[in-house]
Amino acid sequence: MKNLASFLRHPAGVIGLVILTGVVVLAIVAPTLFPVDPWDMVAAPFQPPFDGETWLGSDMLGRDVAACIAYGARVSLLIGVSSTLAALAIGVTVGAVAGYFGGRVDDFLMRFVELFQTIPGFILAILLVATLGPSLTNVILAIGAVSWPQLARLTRAEFLRLRSREFVQAAVCQGQPPMSVVLRHILPNAVSPIIVTGSLMIASSILIESALSFMGLGDPNLMSWGFMIGASRSVMRQAWWMSVFPGVAIFLTVLAINLVGEGLNDTLNPRLSRKARGA
Amino acid sequence: MSVVAITRYGGRLSAYVLGIAYGAVKIIGVILVIATFNFILVHAAPGDPAQVIAGQSGAADETLLRQIRSAYGLDQPYLVQLASSLKKTLTLDLGYSYRQQRTVLSLLLERLPATLLLTGTAFILSLVFGTALGTIAGTRAGKWSDTFFTIVSLLLYALPVFWLGLMLVLLFSVQLNWLPPFGYVTVGVEMTAWQRIADIASHMVLPTLSLAAVYLAIYARLMRSSIIEVKQQDFIKTARAKGVTESRIVMHHLLRNAILPVITVAGMQAGAVVGGAVVVETVFAWPGLGRLIYDAVLQRDYPVMQGIFLVMSIVVIGLNLLTEAVYRMVDPRISVRSVR
């Protein structure tokens, strides 16, 4: 409750939360608002926006741009959240093992993480999706597979810091098994920076997803914002609305998540962020 | 030079040698990992690996498939195949694109300069302007110019790179007709050397801007908070107490120390910049590796995709090593002058 009040004092965070709530609501009510399939033709092709028939115009096949954006919100949020969860599962596990055991295990795992950080992630994601096939699951796994190193480094640093603290030492001395020390003593204390980084990662995952589907590597059965922009390229001169609106949708969603992430950072790590602000 | 200085200098030299050795090990390590990875991917792809390599989605004829199977040793045990593919990669034999009827290496070498030009320019521009904006914001923390730059960088940071590119084309090429919308050079026009350079430069403006914008925002934000942190340290107060002029404090004391974390992050971001180049090249039909990987994806040309993955990773390591070298040059704590 105290955290909530503190978050609400952060104006940027509140703005972000409002926009994000709007996007989530849009995603939830998409089928009610637009009962027809977003792939269906509902109007004449190339109808300009605000013209009566459709809100945001229609594309070259007479599909409703507004409906496509509403359904695209579902895909973006779904992929953003699930690929972040995948990255959390890998990153936190690797970081926890490296930070808890230290020594050679740590050295080995960190070299591995470093290697993964050197590899250009987006190209690896392209390669993974192109090879395994562009399905929803493969896109989520590919984004998760290229996003985890940052979380692994963060978790490791937190674990290294907490490992030597008295309460952790006490738990070890009591003979608690490593699993219980990690899950009941270290992880709960390391969770707030992980939450902050994870929330920001949802935004970057949405950006990666949109770039993948822009390049034609999205799930062909799902309407997504990146796909809409990719499809609009050839008719950009006639139909600006086809490329402008989905981009605005991506921009607002990513901005909102970043703002919420910063608000969370100020709320959960007040000491750290005050230092960064120079107060 | 005192004894301390000499030993420190010696330490610096061996650190330098170690740095180069570490860089070499890293490059070979990355090449081996990527080759292994590429190998696993071809076998993980649905269908016959020979069909995958041929890239003709089931339409390849039996003679070609037999040829591929023997060239890649696909009838051998996995370990033998892996060893031979590692050996091939280390000798820069990146295979043959059956789609393009050319060796992958020759294709990549032809496209590499355009990518290096675009990524290099964007990387340098974003660093220079990012640190400049960050410095302005950081030294004026709390004033309106700081608020303005902070908001701008927040907005830039949320823009999808490819969409920014398209919007720039819509504005500057379609609406205003100021700049060419795509390509590398105007085709079919006789030009002197200078005209040609100017022509390429005008084609570069939009792609470079779209690629640099996001990173400019990142570096500006980082530089701002770094400046604010360094500003409060004792050596700045000392310099001010000594009567050093404000501009000298900013240029000699503040900047040199505050830029270090920015350089570190720039090195870590190198991979992302190269990844961003792929999308930007696709948008602007820039004839580099990014555009090539887009075509390769459309045609499912695996040898080309894998070759680009390898070459781009090497480019990233190159940028990493470069930023490390810059870090050493800039860091006042390990400069020779400070030892004297």
Inter-chain CB proximity A120 and B275 less than 8 Å: yes
> For the residues of A204-231, what is the DSSP string, one character each?
HHHHHHHHHHHTT-S-TTS--HHHHHHH
Model confidence pLDDT, tens digit, residues A192-222: 889 889 998 999 999 999 999 998 888 888 8
Token pair of B19 as six digits: 């740095």
pLDDT tens digits for range A237-260: 888 888 899 999 999 999 999 999
Strand partners of residue A64: A58
State yes or no: pLDDT of B141 exceeds 80. no
Closest A-chain CA to B319: A118
Whether pLDDT at B56 is above 70? no
Predicted pLDDT at B5: 46
Q: What burial letters (b/e) apply to B109-130, b meaning 16+ CB within 10 Å?
A: eebbebbebbbebbbebbbebb
Burial of A274 (0-12, 13-18, 19+ CB in 10 A): exposed
Contact B274 A120 (CB under 8 A): yes
Residue A142: band (very low, low, confident or very high) from pLDDT cuts 50, 70, 90: very high
- Rg of chain A taking only CA atoms, in angstroms: 22
**In 3-state terms, what secondary structure has residue A275?**
helix
ipTM: 0.86
Cβ neighbours of A198 (radius 10 Å): 23
The Cα A10–Cα A264 span in angstroms is: 9
Tell whether A215 lies on the interface with B, counting CB pairs under 8 A: yes
Instruction: Give residue B74's identity as a one-letter amino acid code.
Output: L
State the Cα–Cα distance between residues B293 and B295, nearest whole angstrom: 5
Best CA proximity match to A91, nearest among A12, A156, A30: A156
**Average pLDDT of B276-291?**
89
The listed range with the strongest mean pLDDT (A16-25, B199-208, B301-310) is A16-25
Give the pLDDT confidence score for residue A74 in this predicted structure.
Answer: 92
- Listed residue (A168, A67, A85, A152) closest to A117, CA to CA: A152
| Chain mean pLDDT for chain A | 86
Q: A93: helix, coil or strand?
A: helix
* Interface residue of B39, B163, B283, B306 to substitute, partner A, most A CBs within 10 Å: B163
A8 in B contact zone (CB under 8 Å): no
Say whether A229 and B279 touch across the interface (CB within 8 A). Answer: no
pLDDT given for residue B39 in this prediction: 81
pLDDT in tens, B172-186: 888 887 878 777 777
State the pLDDT at residue A181: 87
Q: Specify the pLDDT at position B14.
A: 67
Helices (H), chain A: 2-8, 11-33, 65-101, 103-118, 121-132, 136-163, 166-173, 178-180, 187-214, 225-232, 240-268, 270-277
Contact A277, B228 (CB under 8 A): yes
Q: Which residue type does B77 have?
A: P
Instruction: Please indicate whether, in this complex, the C-beta atoms of A131 and B45 are within 8 angstroms of each other.
Output: yes
Contact across the interface for B163 and A123, Cβ inside 8 Å? no
Q: What is the pLDDT of residues A9-54, one digit of tens each?
A: 788 888 999 999 999 999 998 888 888 888 877 777 777 787 767 7
Q: What is the mean pLDDT of residues B277-299?
A: 87
CA angle, B53 then B288 then B125, to 5°: 140
Compare CB distances from B160 to A133, A237, A251 and report the shortest one's residue: A251
pLDDT bracket for residue B9 (50, 70, 90): low
Residue-averaged pLDDT of chain B:
81
Q: What is the mean pLDDT of residues B206-217?
A: 91
State the CB neighbour count (10 A cutoff) for residue B74.
Answer: 18
More confident residue, B93 or A229: A229
A115 in reach of chain B (CB within 8 A): yes
Inform me whether the pLDDT recorded for A276 exceeds 50: no
State how far the Cα of B218 lies from the Cα of B181, in Å rounded to an integer: 26
Compute the CA torsion angle A32, A36, A39, A40 (nearest 10 deg).
-160
**Is some CB atom of chain B closer than 8 A to the CB atom of A195?**
no
- Amino acid present at B43: H
Minimum mean pLDDT among A230-244, B1-15, B66-80, B207-221: which range? Answer: B1-15
| Tokens encoding B144 | 């309106």
Q: What mean pLDDT comes out for the span B53-68? A: 70
Are B41 and A131 inside 8 Å of each other by CB?
yes
